[in-house]
Copies of this chain bind each other. A is one copy, B any other.
Amino acid sequence: MNFVVLSGGVGGAKFADGMAKSVGPENLTVIVNTADDQELYGLHISPDLDSVTYMLAGLANPETGWGLAGDTWNNFEMLQRLGMKPWFRLGDKDLATHFMRTNMLKAGATLTEVTRALSRELGIQSRILPMTNSRVRTIVDTDEGLLPFQEYFVKRQCEPAVHGFIFEGAEEAEATVEVVRAIETADTIIIAPSNPYMSVDPILAMAGVKDALLNASAPIIAVSPIVAGLAIKGPLAKVMAELSLTPTPVVIAEHYADFINGFVLDEQDRDMMADVVTLAIGPLVTNTIMSNIEERATLACEVVNYADRLRPEKLGGCRLDVPKQLPTG
């Protein structure tokens, strides 16, 4: 079976981890946003790819969600001592990933090949696919001017009000053949509870992705990253307000309305069920807050079972013994 997840960073990585545990890692493909990538000290940094990679390798730092568990900060402290005023934290071990990526890219490898090599070395059985091998960079249009994504996100801590996002290079960029093929051959496609505007839209902007989704035979399900008017993590609710959007699952569902035929929202938003875009069998309402590994796996399992009801033949993807909660409505 082929389960495909479209993912940004930490939130998507957690959901992907739940999926790997619920359907088996070898049945999972994660398509990851790379528009948050940046160059720092000559190194190629891919924050979202690394969050997914470390999570699926079982090496993610459980406290931050990003970076490696048990990493140290001697390099970061020395940068401070040298007066560099570093604002993007890279752990001593984490740097090794960027060294390997930078080396391989300089030697002519694609980002897809680098990501596969890292997965292999870390014993990951799932397929992690960067959305593109081309350079795409999110520029945030703010009331302080245009800011490269990480400067907005990390250096400025999402403080400047957002007017919109520019995906620099997106028009010339293409989804990789691996990404398009994964969507085409998927049995189930799930948009993780990642930020739609910052993390998922860059993936959708890649030539080939939207068409593949529109033509996909698999059910496509989005999981709401908004719960009770707040983002599970990150600045999504704040950004939606700045974009004059009401932070509700309803608005998220509308954002994906073109191609989804399933939607998942949290119990806390049960009263909004009826307002979610018209779907064949109505949305799944369940606990979407993944506080621990059990909740991740349970959510993934429920989404997988929900997908089974969205297609003619039942595939029965979830291996876990999770109560098969039926979608209501």
Chain A residues near B (Cβ < 8 Å): 41-44, 68, 71-72, 74-75, 77-79, 81-84, 91-100, 102-103, 106, 118, 121-122
Contacts and interface: CB of A to CB of B under 8 A. Distances in A.
A99 B77 CA distance: 13
B102 A42 contact: yes
Contacts of A81: 96, 121
Contact of A42 (B84, B97, B106): B106
Contacts of A72: 72, 74, 92
A60 to B, nearest CB: 14
Interface of A (DSSP majority class): helix
Contacts of A106: 42
Q: Which of A42, A91, A97, A100 has the most CB of B within 10 A?
A: A42
A79 B100 contact: yes
A213 B95 CA distance: 44
Contacts of A71: 74
Contact of A82 (B77, B82, B84, B121): B121
Given A41-B43, A42-B42, A102-B41, A96 B75 contact: yes
A100 B83 CA distance: 9
17 contacts: A41-B42, A41-B98, A41-B99, A42-B102, A42-B103, A43-B43, A72-B72, A74-B92, A75-B95, A77-B93, A78-B94, A79-B96, A82-B96, A82-B121, A82-B122, A84-B100, A92-B92
A44 B41 CA distance: 10
A158 B100 CA distance: 26
A88 to B, nearest CB: 11
A84 B68 CA distance: 18
A71 B92 CA distance: 11
A79 to B, nearest CB: 4
Contacts of A42: 41-44, 102-103, 106
A78 B102 contact: no
A96 B84 contact: yes
A115 B75 CA distance: 19
A22 to B, nearest CB: 28
A122 B81 CA distance: 8
